Structure 1
């Protein structure tokens, strides 16, 4: 067994992925779920129980896609919108039972909410839909920002219109915020200061600041010496994009943990 500090990793539910991560005695493991996982709730509950029995703190991540399309909380596609609500309800039940939290996105890039920051009606619709999900469960979801659009650091109305009124607990993805702020560390610092009260969880991942690149720490342009004090006392994972197509090898996350420890 290998013991390192800050081993906070991401995995799917595949047994070989979980076995790969558990070799390194992770403190935290975030389970990124897909549509198929939602149809096997017993398997998910059993996995959470097993990981908790190993002393691992578990977080879930709401599926990002339905039938190959990215989800959006205000989607005009009724089927996709139904899946968003149904899966949120199913995960809320599991979170309550297993005492875990679930990361959720309002939207991803290139969907309805990724456009129309200046559209007050659209911003209001996003808020109303968030309220509907909060009515399912008020505390189990941690709302993650994306790289642009209504629920991103790019939106100057986000805190005043959505976060503050709903007292919304957040997952801040450092790279997403950095990209939304056009790769400015100065703006990123102000953003982290502004949202620190609401940030309950972080995705720690580097970026060049131009596109969604999910780099290991040190490979991008983010000032980690500035960022570390914001995240160090909060739960987080190293959510690094894995180069192999099967996402089995988590070594880029381990390299990021080693980098973070030295910052």
Structure 2
């Protein structure tokens, strides 16, 4: 199954118009902390409306990754990191509300993998830290309903690839975003494990980040430049889900590497 074209960019009109020139089926907004000031959020709202009016069928609002030097970890406890906790709380609610108003999607990371251990150490155990993160996701899931999804990480808080953690995730009935590179890296480059995870979670996956990797570090490679077996991955995707190519770009104003990744899959499918 060839996924339809999905591209990612910011609320910058330069980036938006660059992506729209390729007529994507999905546009994912990369947001940052500055988008959550009064002026910034108004600009974001107008950008979402602009993309909708351009005829893009599916829009995803990616929760900001960082705030004041920290990644926006759901597991960060309120008593130790009050400013970070409050920003994650308010920005998530704002995005969910915007997603509801515009009938689009909000994507929140279940975890990241940078300062995560620092936050885990605030709890009595990894299980306790994961429980805190899941409690927070439960609240956001209830608030967002069919307008919110949660993305996997390389950290043990919310990693796909561990069948036990996946079973716990399935019990919560979360709507899931699946980043292929994150799972592949968590599994140390195990393609069979990646395929098993894609199939195990498939019923709840509503969105994919299609990204290649060498399976060692977070490298965000164009498809075909890493070690992921894309021919096998294509057979494991939920055909009802949306997707984007979340590739590192040489120039953020030009999505060349994202489009080349889509063309790679087109060639792969023609070769079947």
* Deviation digits for residues 50-107 of structure 1 (CA, Å, limit 9, x no counterpart): 1111111211100011123211112131110111010011111101100001111022
Secondary structure, in 3 states, of the residue corresponding to 2:189?
Answer: coil
Partners of 2:97 and 2:238 in 1: CA distance = 30
1:25 to partner: Cα distance:
1.4
Partners of 2:262 and 2:71 in 1: CA distance = 29
Structure 1: unaligned runs, 5 residues or longer: none
Q: For structure 1, which segment, 112-121 or 42-51, has the greater mean C-alpha deviation from structure 2 after superposition?
A: 112-121
1:91-102 maps to which residues of 2 (within 5 A)?
Answer: 91-102=95-106
* Deviation digits for residues 184-240 of structure 1 (CA, Å, limit 9, x no counterpart): 101111111111111111000100000000000100000000011233722100111
Q: Which residue of structure 2 lines up, in the alignment, with residue 84 of structure 1?
A: 88
TM-score norm. by structure 1 comes to 0.91
Aligned length: 256
Root-mean-square deviation (Å): 1.9
Is 1:197 the equivalent of 2:203?
yes
Q: Which residue of structure 2 lines up, in the alignment, with residue 44 of structure 1?
A: 44
Q: Which residue of structure 2 lines up, in the alignment, with residue 105 of structure 1?
A: 109
Structure 1 residues 63 and 230 mapped into 2: Cα distance closer, same or farther (>3 Å)?
Answer: same
Is 1:120 the equivalent of 2:127?
yes
Partners of 1:79 and 1:204 in 2: CA distance = 32
Is 1:257 the equivalent of 2:255?
no
Secondary structure, in 3 states, of the residue corresponding to 1:171?
Answer: strand
* Deviation digits for residues 163-197 of structure 1 (CA, Å, limit 9, x no counterpart): 22320010000111100111010111111111111
Structure 1 residue runs of 4+, over 4 Å off? Answer: 113-118
Secondary structure, in 3 states, of the residue corresponding to 1:183?
Answer: coil
Partners of 2:257 and 2:116 in 1: CA distance = 32
Q: Does the CA contact (< 8 Å) of 1:205 and 1:239 recur in 2?
A: yes
Q: Does the CA contact (< 8 Å) of 1:8 and 1:238 recur in 2?
A: yes
